[in-house]
Structure 1
Amino acid sequence: MSRRKVLELFYDVVSPYSWLGFEVICRYRNIWNVDVRLRPGFLGGIMQASGNSPPAMVPKKGAYMGKDLARLAEFYEVPLRQPSDFYQVVIKKGSLSAMRFVTAVEMSHPEFLEKVSRELWMRIWSEDKDITEPDSILEVSVYVALFGMVNG
């Protein structure tokens, strides 16, 4: 009897690298014969508690990150584009309210966790839309609820 391995992905929708990992893992889970366990977490809190700076705030890492993300997005065919005001969107606003919502979805309706996470990544990293304001989070929840009903 063969048991599938469980692959856990700890992530925050503010991280473009997490999005790339998420899409690759979701895309290949059946080929790799693994079950995926999505584990939302708040990256800002981890950075603060560990005394680390976001890579984009370290000049040489930030410069490399832009090129690296463009190459990876093209290779993995993920529509990732930097927000027009990167500092304001990613560093100042962050993802606390979005990740609280994602965590609530995980706790109450885990069947929507993948779709909610993907939609938040699409908003911030592809469509240059807000993910922190209540109206924005409401839009995501309505979209995912309707999409879930239509595509069951």
Structure 2
Amino acid sequence: MGPVPRTLELFYDVLSPYSWFGFEVLCRYKNIWNINLQLRPTLIAGIMKDSGSLSAMRFLTAVNMEHPEMLEKVSRELWMRVWSRDEDISEPQSILAAAEKAGMSTEQAQVLLEEMSTPKVKNKLKETTEAACKYGAFGLPVTVAHLDGQTHMLFGSDRMELLAHLLGEKWMGPVPPAINAKL
């Protein structure tokens, strides 16, 4: 049995291309660095007051609450739609298409589309956004590392080398050799 994974929280919004970079890098390194990566969908509008991704982030919050095992794939697909293919992520049919492409069943996605407007989901997204603000967030992505009883907040996707240093790990670039060999 190896050392206990260190906890990292990644606060992100799919409207942020910088969040996407941070998301992909941390997903690639989560096993290499032995970290427990907690994905925290956050409304950037709650931090910056204007974004347009409310529906997508409410949907991701519902995914996180009901099917957390799908959160990484659905988040990635929403980023692919908006930043790679210039497709909509605000309309219900667009969100449904992203969820299905990520491997979620139509039935599961439809239920989450209905749940995303419930107070339970709205309050959870608000709570997560407030948590990011309490850590000092002024934009996204924000990575919060919990190490040896201390909390370290890092803003931006260009802080991965600093994060590696905090973790006592080696930074091998955005595509580490173990991942690069699979590509």
TM-score bucket of the superposed structures, by smaller chain: 0.5 to 0.7
Query: 2:139 aligned with 1:138, yes or no?
Result: no
In the alignment, what sits opposite 2:9?
8
- Provide the aligned C-alpha RMSD in A: 1.7
Q: Which sections of structure 2, spanning at least 5 residues, go unmatched?
A: 106-183
**SS in structure 2 opposite 1:9?**
strand
Structure 2: which amino acid aligns with 1:30? N
Equivalent in 119, 122, 125 of residue 77 of structure 2: 119
Higher-helix-fraction structure: 1
8 A contact 2:77–2:99 mirrored in 1: no
Render the CA deviation track for 1:89-132: whole Å, top value 9, x for unaligned: xx5xx200000100000001101000000000011111110000
In the alignment, what sits opposite 2:21?
20
Aligned length: 104
Structure 1: which amino acid aligns with 2:6? K
Pairwise CA distance, 1:7? 1.0
In the alignment, what sits opposite 2:45?
44
In the alignment, what sits opposite 1:110?
68
Equivalent in 39, 45, 59 of residue 101 of structure 1: 59
Pairwise CA distance, 1:143? 1.6
Identity of aligned residues (%): 62
**Higher RCO, 1 or 2 (CA under 8 Å, sep at least 6)?**
2
* Counterparts of 1:113 and 1:43, CA distance in 2: 18
Output the TM-score relative to the length of structure 2.
0.54
In the alignment, what sits opposite 1:81?
none
In the alignment, what sits opposite 1:69?
none
8 A contact 2:17–2:83 mirrored in 1: yes
Q: 1:104 to 1:11 in 2, by over 3 A?
A: same
Output the TM-score relative to the length of structure 1.
0.64
* Counterparts of 1:11 and 1:21, CA distance in 2: 9
Equivalent in 86, 108, 115 of residue 128 of structure 1: 86
* Counterparts of 2:104 and 2:38, CA distance in 1: 24
Render the CA deviation track for 1:13-72: whole Å, top value 9, x for unaligned: 000110000000001111111111000010012112xxxxx7xxxxxxxxxxxxxxxxxx
